[in-house]
A and B are shown apart, each in its own frame.
Chain A
Amino acid sequence: MRKKRKNRNHLFFIAPGFIFYTVFVVLPILCVLVLGFTNWSGMGEIKFIGLDNFITIFTDERFTPTFFNALKNNLKYLVCVWLIITPIQYLIAYVLYIKIPAHKYIKFMVFLPYVISTTIVGFFATLIFNPNIGFMNEFLEAIGMETGAWFGDPDWAFKLLILFVIWQGSGSGIMIFYSNFMDISQDVMEACRVDGCTEWQRFWHILLPLSLPSCASIITMSTIWALAVFDLPYILGGSNGGVNGSLDFANTVFYRYTFGSGLNGRQDYGFGAAICLIMFIIMLLVTFIQNKVLAKFEYDN
């Protein structure tokens, strides 16, 4: 009797969340899968056109170069996440872990930008790098150096973007790495101290391998987010993706063609969904390969 009652009661708890989640999270994902094969303009009948959208994406002479330039930027960004941002986060987490002087203050301050909205980060970037009145140019002028166009300069735009991403986004990763270090058993640390290993040995042979499994999931998440990056490049570069497309990402392209003017001057949600699908497939692919590599790396240790 009691068992029967239990069986019914869990539905009370799960059903509300399940319904909302299904309608507003899962259903849209399924919709993208279907819409990508149509040329629906948002009104009227939905007509399936097979792979036409994908053929357009890869062969249209106006769209394809833009899209591939955006994908190239995404890839560049991803490489920066892997080779610059994540190592920096890891190292800062490490120096906080070994309690360098003033580590409490540093911890407090490096995490602060995490709670600042991306629009405000964009505002700060304008404040400093605005070519007309920004602090940077004022400063360079004052010391008699040449001023720059910064975000208006394709050579600089991407580098500055990465700098601001590090400033705003690295806090969360640092905290996660840091808490992973804190989870490592003190016994291991003690044993390693008794055995008299150097700081370098301890870092390389103990901390790194022990924290890798938990690093794998944060790297996966940051990869997914790197491929979906939108806010900061859009705010800094505008909807056209900056000068010469230097701040154009797959998502900005998607936004421009879906909610903006569209490819041929008509609203085509099917085409937008097709772009989403390709982004999604790339995400799956990169995550899959990355997990394979990380798993192998873990095994080696």
Chain B
Amino acid sequence: MTKKAKANDFSITSGNGVMSGKAKAIRWLISIILIIYTCFTIFVIGATLLNSLKTKSDLVTNFVGLPKSVTLANFATILLEDDFLLYFRNSLILTVCGTVGCILLSAMAAYGIARYEFKGKSFLSSYFLIGMMVPIQVSVLPLFLILRQLGLLNHLLGLVLVYISQISISCLIFQKFFRTIPKALEESARLDGCHDLKIFFRIVLPICKPVIFTMSLITAIGYWNDFYMPMVLLGNKNVRTLTLAIYQYIGQFTKYMSESMAAVIVTLIPIVIIYFLFSSQIVEGLTGGAVKG
């Protein structure tokens, strides 16, 4: 390739530069490799879906092929005989309560730090970062003991309290966002005699709906998928979550093959639907403030 050809050998973001044939070929090659790579995801999800529709005997003799006849018996088994509705409810309660609490507390704390001047402000804002730097695995043992002391071990409420307290990351992102809101809006409301709490709930929160939404999505996905904390803090069957139930099935995979396929599909469906609807918001929530600077 000549130097001149090389000089044209790129496009910035819009692909408006003239590309040499070779560069184009390389791009296509990379793209094909990555497309093949993504087929793996489609394959495993598709295979699980097809297998969950097979009858038990069909699955054993015909693990790889297409189902001979379609049945929903596996779903009926896990939902009716194995309390999957209960696990689903448990996961839902944990996710919803944990997310709402966490977002509310972190938005309030972030507002307090971002909008008011007081002594120890910078200390407080770095104090709230500790939770981000120390993985929860380090502090899980005392959490276990504290919850046992409070009698909340094996109670959903115990884990909800733990989830609510994980405010580090969202607090950081909310702080950044609140600094971008002009103060004039709040000032005028204050002159009208509005109380600060009312200003926050009536004026500030509605403005940050998009941020609240993206942060809630990220938080909720994390809680819905969490495995470690429920495993340590929720031992009883009546508080088992979906992820724990699936873990139980994997442990005896050959025995509960068809049930585990259906169980995985039931857990996967809500999250994949949410991903299809909101993938750009999820990405935004992840990259929004977590890492800049």
Contacts and interface: CB of A to CB of B under 8 A. Distances in A.
Interface residues of A, number: 100
A282 B139 CA distance: 15
B131 interface: yes
Contacts of A105: 35, 38
Given A17-B171, A115-B271, A198-B6, A28 B34 contact: no
Of A11, A17, A20, chain B has the most CB atoms within 10 Å of the CB of A17
B109 interface: yes
Contacts, number: 284
Contact of B246 (A6, A119, A130, A224): A119
Given A95-B34, A101-B28, A235 B63 contact: no
Nearest to A11: B112
B184 interface: no
B167 A17 contact: yes
Contacts of B64: 135, 138
A280 B41 CA distance: 35
Nearest to A20: B165
Contacts of B12: 186, 189-190, 193
Given A27-B146, A101-B28, A115-B221, A280 B108 contact: no
A230 B135 CA distance: 11
A92 B64 CA distance: 31
Nearest to A227: B135
Interface string B136-162: 011111111110100000000000011
A106 B31 contact: yes
Given A123-B260, A132-B254, A259-B232, A21 B9 contact: no
Given A12-B196, A20-B164, A214-B293, A29 B134 contact: yes
A167 B112 CA distance: 40
A115 B275 contact: yes
A183 B287 CA distance: 11
A110 B41 CA distance: 9
Contact of B196 (A9, A28, A113, A199): A9
A163 B283 CA distance: 22
A128 B283 contact: no
Contacts of B197: 9, 12
A122 B6 contact: no
Nearest to B130: A26
Interface SS of chain A: helix
Given A9-B196, A258-B141, A133 B271 contact: no
Interface stretch (A50-58, A60-68, A78-86, A172-180): A172-180
A35 B108 contact: no
Interface in B20-61: 23, 27-28, 30-31, 34-35, 37-38, 40-42, 44, 47-48
Interface stretch (B76-84, B206-214, B222-230): B222-230
B130 A29 contact: yes
Interface of A: 6-7, 9-14, 16-18, 20-21, 23-29, 31-32, 35, 42, 92, 95, 97-103, 105-106, 108-120, 122-124, 126-128, 130, 132-133, 135, 138, 167, 172, 175-176, 178-180, 183, 186, 189-190, 193, 196-199, 202, 213-214, 217-218, 221, 224-225, 227-228, 230-231, 235, 251, 254-255, 258-259, 269, 272-273, 276, 279-280, 283
